[in-house]
Amino acid sequence: MLAILRRMIRARRRTPGISRIDQPEKRTHGYFVRLARKGKIYPAFFADKTHGGKRRALKSAQKHYQQLLRKHGRLTRRDWAQILRRKGASGIIGVRKIVITKSFWTAHWSPRPYVHRWKMFSGQKYGAERAKALAIRARKAGLRNMMEWRTGMRWSRR
């Protein structure tokens, strides 16, 4: 039984869009599949009972998730970096205003996985509007130079 659980946990890691749902009080047991693309969410639920057990429900959920990925495509690193996560003062993703003792505008980006870069522009040195404009320009330049992961252990620019 423990080996089955380990395999199921490993299988879940391979498909991050799949979650296990166990709610005994509502008699709900199964796998929930969710994929979001361009503001639209594609959900599906695979019940253990209708699919003949946990294993078959998981296999069906994985198959459905792979079909969704084929239909809607995988996100590139650049697409992932452009997702709006919260409203900032600048209105541009990856550009924000920091006030420590002085005012700064910062631009953040990731040229390749596990590497983070940023530039800071002083409001005192450049003026608030110019510092913001420079930060936006630095962010756009950083996004242009982002590298995508390719098969065969190579990096390429897109």
Predicted local distance difference test score (pLDDT) of residue 67: 92
> Does pTM top 0.95 for this prediction?
no
Domain end, chosen from 72, 97, 120, is at 72
pLDDT in tens, 97-153: 888 888 999 999 888 878 888 899 999 999 989 999 999 999 988 888 877 655 444
Same domain, 67 and 84: no
Q: Report how far residue 91's alpha carbon sits from residue 102's, in angstroms, rounded to the nearest whole number.
A: 21
Residue 150, domain extent: 77-157
Crossing angle (nearest 10°) for helices 2-14 and 54-72: 10
Whole-number pLDDT of residue 87: 63
In a shared domain, residues 87 and 150: yes
41 and 89 co-located in one domain = no
Q: Are residues 151 and 111 in the same domain?
A: yes
Q: What is the pLDDT of residue 152?
A: 46
End-to-end Cα separation, the chain, in angstroms? 46
Q: Is 42 in the same domain as 90?
A: no
Task: Find the farthest-apart pair of alpha carbons in the chain and give their distance in angstroms, rounded.
Answer: 67
- Do 68 and 82 share a structural domain? no
As given in the structure block, the two tokens for residue 78 are: 């650049």
